[in-house]
Amino acid sequence: MSGRARARACPERTCVGCRDRAAKKDLLRIVAVEGVCVPDRRGTLPGRGAYVHPTPVCLDLAVRRRAFPRAFRGPGALDTTDVRRYVEQGEQASP
């Protein structure tokens, strides 16, 4: 070994709202469960996931662009009230 510390690769994902790439840990994973978008805080729920910045701006962009049905390959609109509630609670908790 040369004594250099190896930099670990940080997994990146693309936000479906703003389409910017960011570290996976900075994004919120969302999973579709029976026609409802559910925030996956721990990243362990089964199924296809979509990532979004946990901000109202990116969530609004994703809903307006109909990104969730496209990401989940679903036939129609999905209910995003649980995700919106989670994002708004996160905004209120941060200073």
Furthest CA-CA distance within the chain = 55
Domain at 12-93: CATH code: 3.30.1230.10
**Cα 22 versus chain centre, distance:** 11
List Cβ neighbours of 76 (8 Å cut-off, separation of 6 or more): 69
Instruction: Convert the pLDDT of each residue in 8-58 to its tens digit.
Output: 788 999 999 999 999 999 999 999 999 899 999 998 999 999 999 999 999
Say whether pLDDT at 1 is over 60: no
Are 13 and 52 contacting, i.e. CB atoms less than 8 angstroms apart? no
**Domain spans of the chain, in order of start:** 12-93
pTM here is: 0.85
Token output for 79: 């209910």
Instruction: Determine the pLDDT at residue 77.
Output: 83
Per-residue model confidence (pLDDT) at position 83: 95
- Which residue do the tokens 């362990």 mark? 44
Res 3: pLDDT: 64
